[in-house]
Structure 1
Amino acid sequence: MSNASLILIDSGRALSERKAAGAREGAKILTASSLGSCLVFVSSAIAAVALAAIGRDMHLSPLDLQWVMNAELLPLAALTMVAGALGDRYGQKRIFLTGVALYGLGAAVIGFAPSFAPLIVGRFVQGLGEALILPNGLSVLGQAFPADKKARAVGIWSAAAAVASGVAPAIAGAILDHGSWRTTFLMLLPMVVGALAVGAAWIPKDSPTSHARIDVGGAVLSTVGLGGLGAGLTSLTNGSDLNLWVFVTLIVGLGGLFGFIANERRLGDNAAMLPPSLFTSRSVVGANLFTALLYGAFTVMLTLIPFVMIRGAHLPTLVAGLAFVPLQVLIAVVSPLAGMLCRRFGRRLPLFAGGSVVALGCAISLRIDSNATYWAHIFPPVLLLALGMSLAIAPLTTLVLTSVEPDRAGTAAGVNSAVSRAGSLFAIALLGGVLQQGGPQLFSGFHMAMAAASVACVLATLAVFIIEPGPHVDYIPRD
């Protein structure tokens, strides 16, 4: 899954920092933060392109293929919010570099994995590293610049991430056409070494806040809840009956999520990683429901289109790697213009338009079959997906940041980012009926998944009406 459209949501933490320390070495800090954070935006894109080759080489079942993707998404969805508190408690530089090191360890384990179990462990460790990298890399960035320069710094950070997430799958596709999928993960190791060296040298040492609260219970319960539900749904979509294993995993997952909600309510706003008061706002509820539905559909497209291009239409892997370059370009070009639409038409219309265009892209992808060519069949839905996400994501990010008090904006952005990953995780968990097919049946399952994704986008547009009506308010970071 490409993470390009997550860039604006994730960048909210940097924009929302209230204390900005002026830094002469700001350019160095920006470079270090960008280099480490770019790692997050390339791994899932590479995995999506390499998925068919991994399955073929290791003789993996559809259930296994789903966990190749979700083993990374699970820690991202469950632990991103608590990772920011870890940085506050133990130092953002230390946690950021720890995340980069874990990411590198995971990539190495994946590259040399002799079987499925080490492969999944490597993907989980990689996702754990990503969960530590993003919030702390952005906090480091936010503290390095005064308020009037933060937006420009985050813009450069976002551009670097977009370029990385666009170039990496293309390089991976070229490697896969002439070599092993393992090389696509091992090529990340020089980047990891560079990010560690630059981060250690250029990010200044920060002062941890020893009294920062770590919601360990919330982190454990959210991981158990998401993991249990993900495992149960994954088994069901691979043809399993409601046997004891599936029943237990679903019960454990639901119990974990209910326990998580009860734990957050007990801890209250000052200690919980998911402050309950955030969800007293209609706009926050509507924005997060919109996010979960839209990103679920988005992930289905970004995972399945390269898979069917390679396995079903037998297009070159390089072409699959290049398939979503328009996504990166349009998000970079159109997203700033979406702010103009917000100011002219208010907060709801751009989100409604974006969700509707993505729904149309999902519907048009029903034309993709075994005779598909890129320009006639793949490019049109990709173009609509890119245009729709470009219209929606910048207004969504601004809405999330402006629907709460300024001192809660970073938390709101973290919650919204976690919700997007949770939506992606459950979407992947429901794809077993597609990944287990071959030949004409592959496209039958693909078309059903695209129809379901289109329905999810329609539901996302309806969720827009939960959001409180009113004029768009630009987010202005404050000291």
Structure 2
Amino acid sequence: MQLHENTGHPRRWAILGVLVISLLVVVLDNTILNVALRTLADPVHGLGASQGELEWSINSYTLVFAGLLFTFGVLGDRAGRKRFLVAGLVFFGLASLLSAYAQNPAQLIAARALMGLGGAAIMPATLSIISNVFDPRERGRAIGIWAGAVGLAVAIGPILGGALLEHFWWGSVFLINVPVVVLGVVLVALLVPESRDPDPGRVDVPGVLLSVVGLVALTYGIIDGGEHGFDRPLVWVSIVGGLAVLAWFVVLELRSDHPSLDVRLFRVPRFAAPVALVGLIFFAAMGVMFFSSFYLQLVRGYSPLETGLLFLPFAAAQLIFAPRSAAMVRRYGGRAVAIVGLALTVVSLGAFAFIDASTPLWVVLVCFFLQGTGMANVMPPATESIMSALPREKAGVGSAVSNTVRQVAGALGVAVLGSVLSALYRQDVAPALRGLPAAAHEAAGESISGAYAAAGQLGPAGPALVTAADHAFVSAMHWAAALSAAVAALGIVVALRWMPGRDHRQSPVATPAAGAPELAGTA
């Protein structure tokens, strides 16, 4: 009978509900910003942000978040996960207030970076606590619900953001975080038990600093090159320098006896393959989410609220399929489920390469539904494989790696695909800008948002500029979508070659690492 005893916490399902609320505020904030981008670019109703500043308003949050996840995962394991979760929620709420009342793009970018600090304390704690309070036999289902909540928040964000922008000023998309944070703090304090690693390691300060510097330099070079061209030395110094610092980080982690990221874990297919899948699919998906918002609002003319509602099929697919993915994995194996999910994602992302200004709306909705279905069947088995490769007391490590890769890949997806989009847009729209006044020429040449703003000041010449900008944007979107589909397709190759199948899931193990000798020296 002892073999069948459930070792989970008696209140584990209520605790999962509290953790989902805490998680919602972090994920919601990233996607709620997507529908506000056009408003933030408006010099009258927003902050007059440029394309690069809009990308940095997303990536300043993401880079701080990703750079500190390793450290906060370790610190949470050491000092107490509940303590870090509450502290992260409070800090996130205060930084949201600063974002809501930013007076210019620079202040918003700085406030968003502070929000990333709070998010870095929240995200790893939620997944670590799930691993701690659930029996390994139930953990797959719990992580499926957790991943479904991530997908739901991704889709709810644009709807909520659109509704707020219909009735309030742009700062309301950040102010909405405050009541959710208050509710989360109260429920965490009442329901979530404290847990920690009985044998914590030291904090790897040099590793943390190198990872942050490397990621910021690399992403800055990509964004700046996309906005102003890749023919300047500063861009390549930033990109090459960032890659060199990240290489230094890897060497340092290999030599350290207390690394923030133990890179030796990536020698283990059971751990490395799902991490790669998470990175590839979020690189592809977040870049498409970034430009699809502009496509729907500008090229198709939908309001922020209507744009948000058009993401509902994505949310529905996440709600339907993510909680069921654990059962699918038990029946068919993680590799098969992930490959089917990746194939659906490739099809949905690649379809944007054929969508234009006159494509029937139902086609776009089907694409969003397929993307949601695909991602709902990739994330849960990948996350469960990552978390099951480590024992419960090291849950912070697995959580930090999974979430950091997801956030870094998402940031680079926005940066790279956004840069491709910007560069191709500028190239295609250039012939239509000849003869325009200098201010209109500069604004329209920078982005489609700038072209729409300039067209409003040109009188009879305005409609022709709008048509040219739409055509240039759609053409650039096709190339960016094709690139995102190719990146997601790479995930199929990874899953076929290295993703674990059904064998190791046949009999759940309470401490998975004990059965994996290759992890003994790295966990």
TM-score category, normalised to shorter length: 0.7 to 0.9
> 1: CA distance between counterparts of 2:280 and 2:153?
26
Change in 2 beyond 3 A, CA 1:297/1:109: same
1:162 positional shift: 5.0
CA contact (8 A) 2:148 2:318 kept: no
Matches within 5 A, 1:355-370: 355-370=342-357
Change in 2 beyond 3 A, CA 1:254/1:160: closer
> 1: CA distance between counterparts of 2:474 and 2:198?
53
CA contact (8 A) 1:20 1:142 kept: no
Say if 2:267 is the partner of 1:280: yes
* Aligned position for 1:295: 282
> 1: CA distance between counterparts of 2:170 and 2:386?
38
| Residue from 486, 493, 505 that aligns with 1:455 | 486
Say if 2:35 is the partner of 1:35: no
> 2: CA distance between counterparts of 1:164 and 1:82?
25
- Opposite residue 477 of structure 2, the aligned amino acid is F
> 2: CA distance between counterparts of 1:219 and 1:382?
36
Say if 2:119 is the partner of 1:130: yes
> 2: CA distance between counterparts of 1:455 and 1:346?
24
Encode CA deviations 1:281-338: one digit per residue, 9 max, x unaligned: 2343333333322211111222211221012211121121122222222223223544
Matches within 5 A, 1:25-64: 29-56=15-42, 57-64=46-53
* Aligned position for 1:330: 317
1:236 positional shift: 1.5
1:410 positional shift: 5.2
Encode CA deviations 1:407-462: one digit per residue, 9 max, x unaligned: 66653343132212211111111213435432221111111110111111222212
* Aligned position for 1:437: 447
Encode CA deviations 1:142-196: one digit per residue, 9 max, x unaligned: 4455666656665665555555444342121112223322112112212222223
1:261 positional shift: 0.6
* Aligned position for 1:354: 341
Change in 2 beyond 3 A, CA 1:351/1:21: closer
1:381 positional shift: 1.4
> 1: CA distance between counterparts of 2:222 and 2:310?
29
| Residue from 83, 97, 102 that aligns with 1:94 | 83
Change in 2 beyond 3 A, CA 1:94/1:336: closer
The farther-off stretch of 223-232 and 283-292 is 283-292
> 1: CA distance between counterparts of 2:262 and 2:19?
27
Change in 2 beyond 3 A, CA 1:469/1:192: closer
> 2: CA distance between counterparts of 1:160 and 1:230?
28
| Residue from 440, 448, 473 that aligns with 2:504 | 473
- Opposite residue 171 of structure 1, the aligned amino acid is L
1:470 positional shift: 4.4
> 2: CA distance between counterparts of 1:180 and 1:263?
46
- Structure 2 stretches of 5 or more lacking a match? 1-5, 423-445, 449-468, 512-523
Say if 2:213 is the partner of 1:213: no
CA contact (8 A) 1:437 1:445 kept: no
Matches within 5 A, 1:197-346: 197-204=186-193, 212-268=201-257, 271-339=258-326, 341-343=328-330, 345-346=332-333
1:406 positional shift: 7.0
1:115 positional shift: 0.4
CA contact (8 A) 1:342 1:472 kept: no
Q: Which has the higher contact order (CA 8 A, sep 6+)?
A: 1
- Structure 1 stretches of 5 or more lacking a match? 1-18
Give the secondary-structure state (helix, strand or coil) at the position aligned to 1:369. coil
- Opposite residue 78 of structure 1, the aligned amino acid is G
State percent identity of aligned pairs: 25
* Aligned position for 2:171: 182
> 1: CA distance between counterparts of 2:113 and 2:408?
15
* Aligned position for 2:453: none
Change in 2 beyond 3 A, CA 1:88/1:341: closer
Change in 2 beyond 3 A, CA 1:470/1:388: closer
> 2: CA distance between counterparts of 1:20 and 1:130?
29
Give the secondary-structure state (helix, strand or coil) at the position aligned to 1:299. helix
CA contact (8 A) 2:143 2:383 kept: no
Give the secondary-structure state (helix, strand or coil) at the position aligned to 1:400. helix
Give the secondary-structure state (helix, strand or coil) at the position aligned to 2:504. coil
Give the secondary-structure state (helix, strand or coil) at the position aligned to 1:59. coil
* Aligned position for 1:11: none
- Opposite residue 457 of structure 1, the aligned amino acid is A
Say if 2:409 is the partner of 1:423: yes
Q: Structure 1 length as normaliser, TM-score?
A: 0.85
CA contact (8 A) 1:93 1:205 kept: yes
Change in 2 beyond 3 A, CA 1:413/1:477: farther
Q: Quick check: which has more Rg, 1 or 2?
A: 2
1:344 positional shift: 5.0
> 1: CA distance between counterparts of 2:196 and 2:330?
39
* Number of positions where the alignment pairs a residue of Structure 1 with one of Structure 2: 457
1:252 positional shift: 3.0
Say if 2:365 is the partner of 1:379: yes
> 2: CA distance between counterparts of 1:437 and 1:191?
34
Change in 2 beyond 3 A, CA 1:158/1:227: same
Encode CA deviations 1:110-169: one digit per residue, 9 max, x unaligned: 110000111001111112211110122333454455666656665665555555444342
Say if 2:55 is the partner of 1:66: yes
Encode CA deviations 1:58-92: one digit per residue, 9 max, x unaligned: 22211111111111111222222221111123322
The farther-off stretch of 62-71 and 380-389 is 380-389
1:465 positional shift: 3.2
1:390 positional shift: 2.3
1:26 positional shift: 5.4
| Residue from 375, 387, 395 that aligns with 1:389 | 375
